[in-house]
Structure 1
Amino acid sequence: MDELYTLDREVGRGSYGVVFEGHMAKTGHRVAVKRLPCSNPESIELYLQELWAMRATAKNHVNVIALHSCLLQTGSRSLKSLKPGKLPLPLVEAVLKGTVVGPQRGQERSKVSSNTPRRCNSASRLQDKTNTLLARAKPHPREKSTGSDSSTPRRPPSRATKRSAQQQEEEEEEQSGSLRCLALWLVMEYCDGGDLNRYLLSRPPDADRNHGVLLQLCSAVAFLHGLGITHRDLKPDNVLVCVTPKGPVIKVADFGLSKMSSAVVNGERCRQHFSSTCGSDFYMAPEVWGGLSYTAQADIFSLGVMFWAVLERITFVEEGTTQEQLGAYVCKGRWLMPLGEALWENADLQLSVPMKRAPRPLPPPGPAMCALLLDMLAFNPDARPSAGQLEARVRSALKQDSD
């Protein structure tokens, strides 16, 4: 049974890809569709990490974004559904060889129409209704111009229709193992509340809502760490929100920098050490700032920065941008310094929790929560609580401060 995903509008654009709001034509169910162009080995490696991590979560946690399906764009009109547990071998080869593999004859075609997802013989297809997907796309030289948008994929009138020369070329390339992969398309659940910055900062401060956000984030990260997934880029931009009658449902998303470990010793998962300096400045742990090896405990530091900012509604505007963001920091004169960087420069730095600000939009966190925040933001990773301990400690701190 064919599934048709229709792209309605662009909702986000980043360094690596574009996200569209879309829907399933048969059910009307809204989805988010993320296009990741496979143009270089470095980007492809991040895409495969994201795909592998999202598959590992397998829609098993309400606070982690769910992946519905993954499509591989193999030609200007071809989309192939990836089977569960399988990775596209040409992309794996590109990462291992350090070069994008594929036939030269397909490269000129991809310059014109690689952004146009069209179904040829796949189990799923995408129909583009946006003005942004391929504004500069030109009709394929073999196609006749019509009154409709030439960038809009159309289903062939019949499966028995004679295959085009291009389709035959692509099938031959696939059989020979030299098929060029133009892009990955990830079809995910849609979150109508936007990211955590947008959701919280567009509403009046509310302590109960903030506490719910903290507890859901604890649950999500404990689930991920239990699977051996270290996110490595936790920040409000990478937390999405679904608005429901019972309140916001938080979804941790964007696993492009995540790493997985499956090693288990004595019934417990090993603390795998990482060396790549990655993440976002205002949320990176001091050991990451210092270029040291680090573990999943770096995620706990990132959560600590987010928790502090959410509880006290601390915001900043990063240099070169105009968007207000949630995040805690240290003031150095007229400049803001990320907490991780400040602690790396001075491991004995005493953080002022709660931050002294006037006027306060919310009551400051109580003594128990302040103590927990300081533990999460400890310079020594081993002094921070584990993800498995965190939710219970947050509940206990909130209860103590309310008594």
Structure 2
Amino acid sequence: MEELYTLEREVGRGSYGVVFEGHMAKTGQRVAIKRLPCSNPECIELYLQELWAMRATAKNHANVIALHSCLLQTGPRSLKPLKPGKLPPRLVESVLKGTIVGAAQSQERNDAQRGTNSVSRLQDRTNTVQAKHPLQYKTKSNACDSTTPQRPQHRARKRPAQTEEEQPGPLRCLALWLVMEYCDGGDLNQYLLSRPPDSQRNHSVVRQLCSALAFLHSLGITHRDLKPDNVLVCVTPRGPVVKVADFGLSKMSEGLLDGDLTRQHFSSTCGSDFYMAPEVWGGLIYSAQADIFSLGVMFWAVLERITFLEEGAPQEQLGAYVCKGRSGWLMPLGEALWENADLQLCIPMKFKRAPPLPPPPGPAMCALLLDMLASNPDARPPADQLEARVRSALEEDSR
């Protein structure tokens, strides 16, 4: 393999894996390198979904995170590149069988010995590649709890010795490494909340997210976990460029009738509480229109700078909600609308404004937000119409 990556520092850690800042040794280009340990069939299935979706988007849209390459870790510090359009047979087999497939159960190792002559190594300055520092994970369930979905528990394991590099010894775990473009502005929460309110910046973010979702839906990709944490920001002289990321819960649909993604339906309850659509909250069959609801929550929060503190989280998050009771208990919009489909949302939410709050969205944008947040999915605008409607609403309100 021609490229050699250097890990500089850890920049993010989640319930799936860890992300590092790194560089391409030959060009010096800064990249983000995401390590996904493949220790559990449920984890592996999500990783392969993310990889497949990112390959489909390739580098074709400025507002979707770009994947440079994918590597499969075959030893403690040994990597091999995955060919475009291919998935590792051993990992696919693990998903299908529901158990980790050992080397003796898979032909992939033999194929790799015959067909792979080059090995890539990461120059690791963080020591996190070593198996003596396993990541800790939470338990995953299909139903969402009061926070974000829980992830599978990491379980270290010994792999049968097959090559000189993989003799019995310390516990080692195969992993996927995704090499992606680096975003220096952090996630959307970090970027917007660390700066004074700016209407022009907010409008730019909203328009870019519309464009990204229209692109994803045109490819048959339903994201299913849109939220500010999963939107990264690149800082440029012309302003922020936002990038939709984290496709672990996404679903790809092919061969849809008339290209209508709303005809493809899903049943798994997944997502993050404050951004889930009411039909997802209710455990109903849902479509890509659930993404429109999630985007509506984000837009409302961005335009009005609405924040909340999730239980156990020390930092503010952008998100809209419904206040319940005298204690001001916060209920996610989707949950509130599932309980009462006729609930009237008050947009704008904050009537008394003083610095640093931004000015409220105008009547046209408020009407569009209500459409995006409709309890009936069919009443929400499809993604391919949303960008034009946002542009029109912003222009109308600026007059």
TM-score past 0.5 threshold: yes
Q: Could you give the per-residue CA deviations for residues 211-254 of structure 1, whole angstroms, max 9, x where no partner exists?
A: 00000000000000000000000000000000001110010000
1:43 counterpart residue number: 43
**Aligned pair partner of 1:129 in 118, 125, 146:** 125
Matches within 5 A, 1:249-328: 249-266=241-258, 268-269=260-261, 271-328=263-320
1:13 counterpart residue number: 13
Deviation at 1:74, TM superposition (A): 1.3
Distance 1:28 1:199, change over 3 A: same
2:335 counterpart residue number: 341
Matches within 5 A, 1:341-380: 341-360=335-354, 361-380=357-376
TM-score by length of 2: 0.85
Moved over 6 A (4+): none
**Aligned pair partner of 1:215 in 196, 207, 210:** 207
1:101 counterpart residue number: 101
Larger radius of gyration, structure 1 or 2? 1
Distance 1:194 1:137, change over 3 A: closer
TM-score by length of 1: 0.84
1:184 counterpart residue number: 176
2:71 counterpart residue number: 71
**What is the CA–CA distance in structure 2 between the aligned matches of 1:3 and 1:356, rounded to whole Å?**
51
**What is the CA–CA distance in structure 2 between the aligned matches of 1:213 and 1:169, rounded to whole Å?**
48
Q: Percent identity?
A: 82
Deviation at 1:277, TM superposition (A): 0.2
Deviation at 1:264, TM superposition (A): 2.8
Matches within 5 A, 1:21-60: 21-60=21-60
* Contact 2:188 2:229 survives alignment (8 Å): yes
* Contact 1:3 1:123 survives alignment (8 Å): no
**Aligned pair partner of 1:230 in 210, 222, 227:** 222
1:115 counterpart residue number: none
Matches within 5 A, 1:146-225: 167-168=163-164, 182-225=174-217
Mind listing any 5+ residue stretches in structure 1 that lack a counterpart? Answer: 106-119, 139-164, 172-179
Deviation at 1:373, TM superposition (A): 0.1
**What is the CA–CA distance in structure 2 between the aligned matches of 1:214 and 1:7, rounded to whole Å?**
33
**What is the CA–CA distance in structure 2 between the aligned matches of 1:212 and 1:325, rounded to whole Å?**
19
SS at match of 1:342: helix
SS at match of 2:90: helix
**What is the CA–CA distance in structure 2 between the aligned matches of 1:124 and 1:195, rounded to whole Å?**
30
Q: Could you give the per-residue CA deviations for residues 57-102 of structure 1, whole angstroms, max 9, x where no partner exists?
A: 0110000000000000112232110000000001100110000111
1:86 counterpart residue number: 86
Aligned length: 355
Q: CA RMSD in A?
A: 2.1
Mind listing any 5+ residue stretches in structure 2 that lack a counterpart? Answer: 106-115, 135-160
* Contact 1:2 1:123 survives alignment (8 Å): no
Deviation at 1:167, TM superposition (A): 3.5
* Contact 2:75 2:165 survives alignment (8 Å): no
Distance 1:273 1:166, change over 3 A: closer
Deviation at 1:346, TM superposition (A): 0.4
SS at match of 1:23: strand
Distance 1:137 1:313, change over 3 A: closer
